[in-house]
């Protein structure tokens, strides 16, 4: 399917990589071509999304959409990938495999699904190009990163905030590559339940995200914030000890519960009073590169509430900001050295029944093919108890999982 979809200027592929997930509906989905587009950098694009009568909708919301939700916020750094703040498309062709079945379903407008299937099965299963060897520069060097964490800890001590997500950009300014083998290499090394391969004209995203931002099924809304990271080990006994230490780590649990509380507050703004609850706290989930601490928060959407209000009142996701959300977004804009753009935003789908599933865009590579600019961002949650050197190591651990495919 991915070789077949190459000629389309707009497509989004979502892959669960076989992870057992009680809420996911599909093993994978592919949306190709745009029969209708809803996009905007001004006004209220979420309202247009709510009013759309399109069938399926696939697309993204960038982190910088915060500036439309809260006009007092700005983004001071240049946009190097230039994604629209919000962009959704009603696809010409949708292919999907429902969870737990071997059946591929194809829906198409203006073309027979059988013809699409025949075209897909004629394609070779492998890429003809390879991943180039590339090196990355750091937008913020180690000394500056450590010093910035020291300044953030002063904000924490002064009571400005009690947790802040601080990120750094790695970039390669003259990269020539084919995005598809990059995505395949990333997905092979770091298979994740919310992986995505996205093209919007000359912009590409290769994503290995383990995190769900927001899921809607009927009137049930769920969010699964991640806060807490530990490395994996090849030795099973040592690996189990690392997972146990993560679950019992007071600092990591404090980070996680702060964000879980923030998500509960966000969901309460669109859910029935008293329906918001923590279904799971401090669950340890293991991925190829790291163990993660994940909590699950759910609620019941109020009757008559626009489905987009669940997004409006919870975006951007608390796991990528910190708390209190408005103040930490101000500090992120002040201290980070690059615009986040699609990083820590979301991609996903909206069904014809207006259910949806959106990821958190982390562990991702972004490629501007027009400018040959390749980048990623990684970071972590900073609290007053954070050790700057350990925060640098955690940030570099996440970056290594992305950089290694080019070495």
Continuous segment of H or E residues that includes residue 114: helix 113-122
CA dist 95 to 56, 104, 108, 294, Å?
A: 11, 7, 9, 30
Contact in structure between 267 and 276 (CB atoms under 8 Å): yes
- Catalytic, 211? Answer yes
Cross-strand bridge partners of residue 243: none
Distances (CA, A) of 385 to 63, 140, 251: 27, 22, 7
Which residues are paired to 358 by β-bridges? 214, 348
Angle subtended by helix axes 236-248 and 250-268, to nearest 10 = 60
Residue 204 CA to residue 379 CA, distance in Å, equals 21
Nearest residue to 199 via CA among 338, 58, 93: 58
Candidate list 227, 255, 336, 394, residue with the active-site label: 227
CB 371 within 8 A of CB 347: no
Residue in 27, 163, 211, 394 annotated catalytic: 211
The C-alpha atoms of residue 184 and residue 173 are separated, in whole angstroms, by 22
User: Shortest CA distance to 34 belongs to which of 15, 58, 18, 51?
Assistant: 58
Residues involved in catalysis: 211, 227
């Amino acid at each position: 399917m991915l070789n077949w979809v190459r000629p389309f200027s707009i497509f989004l592929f979502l892959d669960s990589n076989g992870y057992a997930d009680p809420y996911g509906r599909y093993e994978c989905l592919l949306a190709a071509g745009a029969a209708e587009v809803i996009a905007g950098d001004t006004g209220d694009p979420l309202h247009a999304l709510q009013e759309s009568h399109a069938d399926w909708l696939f697309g993204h919301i960038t982190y910088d959409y915060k500036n439309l939700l809260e006009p007092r916020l700005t983004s001071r750094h240049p946009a190097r990938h230039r994604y629209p703040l919000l962009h959704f498309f009603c696809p010409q062709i949708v292919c999907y495999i429902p969870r737990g079945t071997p059946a591929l379903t194809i829906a198409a407008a203006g073309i027979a699904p059988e013809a699409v299937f025949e075209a897909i099965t004629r394609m070779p299963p492998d890429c003809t190009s390879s991943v180039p060897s590339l090196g990355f520069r750091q937008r913020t060097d180690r000394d500056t990163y450590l010093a910035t964490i020291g300044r953030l800890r002063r904000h924490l001590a002064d009571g400005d905030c009690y947790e802040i997500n601080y990120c750094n950009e790695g970039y390669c300014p003259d990269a020539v590559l084919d995005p598809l083998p990059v995505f395949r290499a990333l997905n092979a090394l770091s298979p994740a339940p919310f992986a995505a391969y996205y093209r919007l004209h000359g912009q590409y995203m290769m994503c290995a995200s383990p995190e769900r931002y927001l899921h809607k099924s009927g009137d049930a809304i769920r969010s699964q914030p991640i806060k807490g990271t530990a490395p994996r080990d090849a030795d099973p006994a040592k690996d189990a000890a690392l997972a146990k230490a993560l679950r019992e780590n007071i600092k990591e649990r404090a980070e996680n519960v702060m964000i879980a509380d923030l998500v509960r507050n966000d969901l309460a703004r669109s859910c029935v009073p008293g329906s918001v609850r923590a279904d799971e706290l401090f669950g340890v989930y293991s991925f190829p590169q790291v163990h993660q601490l994940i909590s699950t928060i759910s609620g019941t959407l109020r009757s008559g509430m626009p489905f987009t209000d669940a997004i409006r009142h919870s975006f951007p996701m608390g796991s990528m900001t910190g708390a209190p959300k408005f103040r930490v977004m101000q500090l992120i804009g002040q201290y980070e050295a690059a615009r986040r753009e699609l990083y820590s935003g979301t991609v996903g789908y909206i069904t014809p029944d207006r259910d949806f599933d959106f990821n958190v865009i982390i562990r991702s590579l972004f490629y501007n093919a027009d400018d040959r600019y390749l980048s990623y961002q990684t970071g972590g949650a900073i609290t007053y108890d954070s050790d700057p050197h350990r925060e640098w190591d955690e940030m570099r651990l996440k970056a290594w999982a992305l950089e290694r495919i080019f070495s």
